[in-house]
Amino acid sequence: MVGLVLVSHSRDLAEALIALVKQVSAQDIPIAAAAGVGPECREFGTDAVAISEAIQSVYSSAHGVLVLMDLGSALLSAEMALEFLPDDMQANIRFCAAPLVEGAIAAGVQIGLGSPLDTIVQEARQALYPKLEQLGEFFETPDNLSTSTDNPPDDSQEIIVEVVNPHGLHIRPAAHFVKTAAQFDADIRVYKLAGPDQPASPPVPATSLSSLMILGVACHDRIGILAAGCEAEQALDELRLLVADNFGEPLEMEETSISDTVMSPNDVLNERKIIPLSEGIAYGPATFYQEPRFRISREPVDRPEREWKRLQGSFQAVRREIEQRHQSAQATFGAENAEIFEAHRYILDDHVLVEQVRERIFNDHLSAAAAWNDSVRKMADSYRDLSDACLQDRVQDVLDIGNQVLSKLFEQEGEMAPPTLVTPGILIVQELSPTFVSQLNPQQVLGLIAQQGGPTDHSSILARSLGIPAIAVPSFSEMLHEHEPSIEGSTSPELVLALDAFHGELWFDPSADLLSQLQQQQSAWQTERRRHLQICHEPAETLEGNRIGIMANAGGSFDADIAERNGAEGIGVLRTEFLYLSRESAPTEDEQIEMLLTLGKSIKGKPIYARTLDIGGDKSVPYLRLPHEENPFLGVRSIRLSLRSIELFTTQLRAILRAAAETDVRIMFPMISQVEELLQTRQRLEEVHHTLDRECLPHRWPIEVAMMVETPSAALLTSSCARYVNYFSIGTNDLTQYTFAAERGNPELNDYTDSLHPAVLHLMHHVVEAAHQNGKHVGVCGELASDPAAIPVLIGLGVDELSLNPANIPAIKTAVRKVSQENASELTAAILQLDTATAVREMIASSSFL
């Protein structure tokens, strides 16, 4: 069954809509919401991590997931959420521009009927037309609307019935009508009569909710029902009874409000989202931690100089503690995770933030606490507004520093420390902070429950380093009150909690049998994890022992951390554009160097191919002032943009060369389509090298240079380009798009997106042969590198390396180890004689000699 995900800025709206959809669906359907942010998700906003989790909770590889969104920024968050999902899952996710409420209802009906994803999407898109028709804003039926333009079959049987429902054929009755009609093997149409036996509109399919709604059937209107087929008579009899029975609703019935819907306690628990933060299983008595409260006065101050001095003293004290924490964290969490606290120092020393506070103190005569708190909250809000989910998670760090300074101003340092647990158990907090987690003792704190947080925030990363299982439960207070109303605010020896942070489960007062089962699961997981990690870090070799390099695609240190844990041999594509987005000015040279060095530490000094800026007019980057282009995918983007933005390009090249002096960074140029572009980039690179030499700044020279093969022209020019590069990386996503002149993401062009099409494979074959003839290696990145079915073909083509989503590395390494190089070469030779992608995949599936 197709899954349905509702993305909304409002949690209340999403929950109410889910209840409404369940009323009209023929059966229970997989539906989830990703809505709201902040405590218990009650603040307006959307979260990419929450969206990805919602998608995974209802995902089925056989049927896919439909995602509906309310406002523009919800779409941005949803698009970002795809980055967190495996490539094979992404292919089965459909975003739809349908109106949220009407679209969800139409989709819910079709999902309950077992309709395929394409049909559900079509019905959702059409859901707005009944309202437009009713308001007179839309008079012609769109071409793609599911009305029948052909005449009903000549042998159609017909009945005419009167609708007596007080509200006419509204959502629930229409949904009942669709469900009933779908049960019969018959072609069933419906029309509304304007006068005696005269149809006011052409017949529409009885299985289309939106088409039925367009009819605008009111109370006491008459409708005609036509049916043809082997079960036509039974269908008409059943539909006649349905209408006569008022669609199962009492005639005097009032509309039931959402709040009237009663759910059992188990249903409520299952509906609530529990987010795994740090994997593991834990159980024990509950202890509640109350965060310190600061009473901040808004009264004007007479001596702003004194307030400023107090604030400076607090800064110094916090700065010393951060340094101490950074030093101790290196031993506890490792150098990479200790950098979290180094970042805290940069927040504290942010000159823009400090100047804002100073102005509030001296100009507005606010106290140090009020000025600091206002400015910190403003900075936190600016992070929340970013579209990048990982950047949104940095709100936690900002508020952490904010509270540390406030604790100094109010002399409440002791209240910031975690409590001492009398008995080891589960600690419940409102929200975790990196400073708080760093002070936890895993021998005392067996598990953590936070009421807000996400798996990519720094607190979760530190909890994983400590090995403390943790979950986020936005509705924990409500669940606790339902279980035990008297418990609140302190240690409760009577209350025992158990949590499964693998699957996001929570139990109150678990039974002895359940605890025994959880212990067994934990032991089995630890054994499997040790075996899994060992295999992940072994080379990926074919049955003959030929090694295939396995690299990772990454956009930041979080991806690099996952890549390192999963056995990546380096970063095959570093998407540096993530550093340029969601900010008001371009990153400085020092910022880029710091980012590259941090990644180098995360990946343990393994090679990093830093792809230069790869954006164009399809991305909103205010400081670049990119002109509007009718087709930005064929416009000034990627290397074309860099060569026209010399200052921007030069800064990035300087940063890469300088960082490469300390870690193994290499340069990759995207979207090369002409040899002339490659010559220009090499010339600019040489000039930057000479400038750094004159400035006596350490940098790597010579440096390895790679180019992306993303256009057919680049593929055909491989031999010419080989003189100027050390390595080729085939970007299969764009190469496929440009080969077929078909935009990725356009649902009407899905038939043109398979990178296993012979046209694309012939280009790849040419690249590999030409590169190898010139002594150069070839890698493949893009979705094809993550497709297990494509692995024998890529090996048969002679590809040397694969670069893929970090999460897919273990599966792809396993796929490589099952392949015979000799047999793969034979298979690929046969595949290159085929004409279609379908034929290619059929041959792979039926192959018996791999």
User: 703 φ, ψ to 5°?
Assistant: -125, 145
**Other CB atoms closer than 10 Å to residue 44's CB: what's the count?**
15
d(CA 437, CA 55): 29
Q: Do residues 116 and 62 lie in contact, with contact meaning Cβ atoms separated by under 8 Å?
A: no
Q: Do residues 50 and 78 lie in contact, with contact meaning Cβ atoms separated by under 8 Å?
A: no
d(CA 82, CA 84): 5
d(CA 617, CA 625): 9
How many residues in total does the chain contain? 850
d(CA 431, CA 452): 5
* Residue from 9, 458, 699, 765 carrying the catalytic annotation: 458
* Residue from 41, 96, 721, 781 carrying the catalytic annotation: 781
Question: Vertex 719, ends 715 and 723: CA angle to 5°?
Answer: 120
d(CA 540, CA 811): 11
d(CA 312, CA 310): 5
Q: Quick check: is 781 catalytic?
A: yes
Q: Do residues 825 and 765 lie in contact, with contact meaning Cβ atoms separated by under 8 Å?
A: no
Element (H, E) at 575: strand 571-575
Count of CA atoms in the C-beta half-sphere (13 A) of 246: 11
Is 164 buried (19+), middle (13-18) or exposed (0-12) by CB count in 10 A?
middle
Element (H, E) at 552: strand 549-554
d(CA 667, CA 607): 11
Q: Phi-psi region for residue 504, left (φ > 0), alpha (ψ -120 to 50) or beta? A: left
Element (H, E) at 716: helix 712-716
Is 745 buried (19+), middle (13-18) or exposed (0-12) by CB count in 10 A?
exposed
Q: Do residues 240 and 171 lie in contact, with contact meaning Cβ atoms separated by under 8 Å?
A: no
d(CA 473, CA 495): 17
Q: Which two tokens stand for residue 705?
A: 């240079």
Closest CA to 55 of 63, 43, 69, 65: 65
Question: Cα 81 vs. chain centroid, distance in angstroms?
Answer: 1
Closest CA to 802 of 494, 551, 518: 551
Bridge partners for 515 per DSSP? none
Closest CA to 589 of 681, 652, 664: 652
Q: Quick check: is 96 catalytic?
A: no
H and E: helices and strands count for the chain: 34, 24
Q: What is the 3-state secondary structure (H, E, C) of 368-421?
A: HHHHHHHHHHHHHHHHHCCCCHHHHCCHHHHHHHHHHHHHHHCCCHHHHCCCCC
Bridge partners for 506 per DSSP? 499
Crossing angle of helices 304-333 and 395-409, in 10° steps, is: 120
Amino acid at the residue 605: G
Which residues contact residue 14 at a Cβ distance below 8 angstroms, ignoring those fewer than 6 apart? 6, 8, 33, 34, 35, 36
Q: Phi-psi region for residue 314, left (φ > 0), alpha (ψ -120 to 50) or beta? A: alpha
Element (H, E) at 777: strand 777-781
Decide: helix, strand or coil at residue 323: helix
d(CA 260, CA 20): 11
DSSP code at position 696: T
Token pair 């990093």 in the structure block, residue: 608
Decide: helix, strand or coil at residue 434: helix
Query: What amino acid positions are annotated as catalytic residues?
Result: 458, 781
